[in-house]
Amino acid sequence: MSDWDRFAAERGPSEERGQAPWAVWSTAETQTSLTAPAWVSPPAPTPAPTPAPAPVVAPASGRRAWRLVLAVALAVVLGAGAGGGVWYVTHGRGAHDRTAATGTGSVAARSYRGTQDPAGFTVDIPRGWTRTQRQGAQAPVVTYDSPDGTRRLQIFRVSENSPAESLDLAENDPGYGFARQPGYQVIDRTSGPSWAELTYRYDDSYKGARRVIDRRFEAAGGSLYAIRSSGPESLDPGVVRAPLTAALGSFCPTDANCG
């Protein structure tokens, strides 16, 4: 029997127990027509306006020189603008692309922290999750809870001969197996040469419908461990699995060489 199994037997069947977006500008012009009296001399004729002097046409060579000046000035202005555009593309946009390319990894790195757990292993856990420990018959059961109390990560050592045997016992023991929990239903069952995993759901009397992923595996150095991740059944399954994936990828017993 694993330490977790003994611990579960003491607590009862529910391992989750214990804890929401022109200007019109107009001009009015008024004209009034009046007839001048006979004694009034007609006004002197208005001299015809002097025609404006014809513009001086620059020689063809002068026009070419002027156009050349304009072309050079335009090239300078456009060149400066193009240079600014090149800087934006190669610097501004490039920096943005690099951020986009590494953003996911950066977020993931900020979401987890490595810890040397007092129970004898190193592991990455979500930042902000709180740790508790309860002593089993032979080894501690370590629990990390999310700040809102809806998700949980549990880690403990098991003493059975294989991961498959340990998981089968934890599921089916007639006294404390979690198959006895209300609404228990297997969602997925997979295994490999050195690990076994069971995903299931059940109805917790305190937290409602829950999804649990239980992985039993052989760690570096040959010792067997269990890591369980759980959360509300309404959550995206990937959200429930994420802490388990991070923990499995970083887990190492203190006395083992994990390379």
Residue 134 banded pLDDT, cuts 50, 70, 90: very high
pLDDT digits (tens, 9 = 90+) for 6-17: 444 444 434 443
DSSP codes joined into one string, 35-100: PPPTTSPPPPPPPPPPPPPPPPPPPHHHHHHHHHHHHHHHHHHHHHHHHHHHHIIIIIIHHHHHHH
Q: Any residues with CB less than 8 A from the CB of 77 and at least 6 apart, and which?
A: none
pLDDT (0 to 100) of residue 47: 53
CA 93 to chain CA mean position, Å: 21
Please tell me whether the overall predicted TM-score, pTM, comes out greater than 0.85 for this model. Answer: no
pLDDT (0 to 100) of residue 188: 98
pLDDT digits (tens, 9 = 90+) for 53-75: 555 444 444 555 455 444 544 44
